[in-house]
Chains A and B, each alone.
Chain A
């Protein structure tokens, strides 16, 4: 029994009358053989789905974040000047974008568990390595790079000649940093909202909460209170107010968001419409069924889309 575990992807042990040796050597263990069906078809499948979506999003958001510096290099003499504020760089991966993707990685479901057991063929993408392979990886990276191009060049095009409504130019470094950072956080939040297929209350809390936290921390760090305590650290004083109070800046952010998200939306819609996978079809019929049953008093399940 040890050699078969070594050759397999995961080892499953049954704990029972014959002792617990298999259990100690295995990745998963349970007491009855029939639980294997749920392990594979429900939990294993969901785990594969969550892992693939998580990975793709993670590469995407980091490429979108980092490659902006590559494009900026052409305009700053390749001196490695960062586009964003130092604190934004520190907090981006830890605070502003970590929780939504964590929630997606924990709770996402494409079809409910009953359907997973009913249609074992749904297990096939995992066996054929369809959801995250070299091609999918390159698509995620390409999307990240495209996003970074938009996030740099749209503010570049607008802010290089823009001024505030009181005549003061908006082409300064701090305004550019705040605009690009805000656009980035909004775009990646919209992207995770598109990627999340199962919105529990926790997902809502994490996604909207992360956005809210970004703006709170932004205004706090650009306030005069922190500046007066540590002038050299918090030298972005006044940037948030001056930048985000300008209609031109919000128009830029809205434009960048649409340019980044519209192709993704179009592509995903076409994929769903022209070549739906089995999981898409099952999900669709499941939701149509639930919508029909809803007036009959089923509690506890929200249905949307359609």
Chain B
């Protein structure tokens, strides 16, 4: 772009003096291009009151309604949580939590009763929650073998070194190896509705569709291809040390057995924080207009297999409905409302400061 008011030629022009020989001598002047002379066309933004103040007001006016919408949506979601760790003497699960032993063959059961005062409509999601359980510890997170879980035969027989010390047991490779698999959550939870007449009806719990579809379809595969006889496929491997049953007996249905068992996949997706919840079951909505979980008394029957006392962890069950933004999450709504209000308020304050003290006429300050 040569057409600018500043011309380099006039300033150091006398190089073209000895014109006769000029064409043959090489000039060491840099090229007079826009790039090399730093004259590239450019947008030069500046922060003026006309751009910054409206920006603050607009952000405030967008965020506050979004915050209100999120907060109202979150409040309309029903959620119920019940802790069943059983540390207090009065809790029904107290005996189970105290008497735990790895070698016990008879499972310990406890029953908790609760009352739902709001009916739950549409699909209800049942989660188990753990506290003080650090699934995000570095040594724990790397203790897995993704090739083995993907069905690779070689990794099945020789799991990765990252799985140590849960790699082999009695000279046989552990399938699935690693600390994550070894600590899989194995409590069984059953929900019963107590009719007003006193009889119990079991609420049907759906165990499909709880894991990420990419995990179930691609990431986790049983070794041996489509061989339905998993006992033969997992021959010569050992079960993880803390499991009661081996991996090929996790479920009687073939598409939920072995590594593709959805409860196993859900557990292997490690949580980011020490207090977390994982999807356990889905309660499908009824086809007629009755609520999925009507108001009333319920009982939760727990087969208490999973010990948490040693690390002061806690266990709980959560029942929740869902909306477009997920479960109950008042934080997002409140945060949006707060930030929106602060931005709006800041806009007002800046407007006031600009009006009272700002330099309206900038060019008068240039001292030459």
Contacts and interface: CB of A to CB of B under 8 A. Distances in A.
Given A172-B270, A255-B335, A232 B138 contact: no
A248 interface: yes
Given A258-B63, A270-B353, A281-B363, A154 B335 contact: yes
Contact of A168 (B47, B160, B210, B339): B210
Given A81-B137, A198-B44, 15 more contacts: A107-B40, A167-B327, A171-B277, A238-B212, A238-B218, A242-B214, A251-B70, A265-B47, A265-B56, A269-B52, A273-B357, A278-B366, A281-B362, A288-B363, A303-B44
A279 to B, nearest CB: 11
B38 A173 contact: no
Interface stretch (A16-24, A130-138, A157-165, A212-220): A157-165
A300 B134 CA distance: 59
Contacts of A164: 326
Given A167-B282, A258-B59, A81 B138 contact: yes
Most buried by B among A118, A121, A168, A224: A168
B198 interface: no
Given A107-B38, A171-B273, A281 B139 contact: no
Contacts of A251: 66, 70, 325, 332, 336
Main secondary structure of the interface of A (DSSP, over half): helix
Contacts of B137: 76-77, 79, 81
B147 A232 contact: yes
A266 B346 contact: yes
Contact of A285 (B135, B279, B363): B363
Interface string A166-181: 1111111111110000
Interface residues of B, number: 94
Given A265-B47, A266-B346, A306-B46, A161 B329 contact: yes
B135 to A, nearest CB: 7
Most buried by A among B3, B278, B363: B363
Interface in A58-99: 72, 75-77, 79-82
Contact of A165 (B45, B59, B138, B326): B326
A121 B212 contact: no
A270 B350 contact: yes
Given A162-B327, A198-B42, A276-B359, A224 B1 contact: no
The 3 closest A-B pairs by CB, nearest first: A238-B214, A176-B272, A163-B326
17 contacts: A77-B136, A80-B138, A114-B6, A160-B275, A168-B210, A168-B279, A172-B270, A228-B218, A231-B146, A237-B214, A247-B324, A251-B70, A259-B339, A262-B56, A300-B34, A301-B42, A302-B43
A300 B219 contact: no
Interface in A255-302: 255, 258-259, 262, 265-266, 268-270, 272-274, 276, 278, 280-285, 287-288, 298-302
Contact of A304 (B44, B218, B269, B327): B44
Interface string B13-41: 00000000000000000000010001111
B152 interface: yes
B232 interface: no
A231 B34 CA distance: 49
Contacts of B343: 258, 262
A7 interface: no
B306 interface: no
Interface in A197-250: 197-203, 224, 227-228, 231-232, 235, 237-238, 241-242, 246-248
A301 B357 CA distance: 32
B365 interface: yes
Nearest to B219: A237
B222 to A, nearest CB: 15
Nearest to A111: B44
B310 interface: no
B111 interface: no
Interface of B: 1, 3-6, 12, 34, 38-52, 55-56, 59, 63, 66, 70, 123, 125, 127, 134-139, 141, 145-147, 150, 152, 160, 209-215, 218-219, 269-279, 282, 320, 322-329, 331-332, 335-336, 339, 342-343, 346, 350, 353-354, 357-359, 362-363, 365-368
Contacts of B41: 200-201, 300-302
A38 B279 CA distance: 68
A113 interface: yes
A28 interface: no
A169 B279 contact: yes
B40 A201 contact: yes
Contacts of A287: 44, 46
A168 B278 CA distance: 8
A147 interface: no
B331 A158 contact: yes
Contact of A167 (B12, B56, B123, B368): B123
Contacts of A266: 52, 56, 346, 350
Most buried by A among B325, B342, B357: B325
A169 B137 CA distance: 19
A252 interface: yes
Interface in A24-66: 32, 35, 46
Interface in A109-125: 109, 113-114, 118-119, 121
Nearest to B37: A113
B3 A268 contact: no
Contact of B42 (A199, A270, A274): A199
Contact of B272 (A172, A300, A304): A172
B332 A167 contact: no
B40 A200 contact: yes
A300 to B, nearest CB: 4
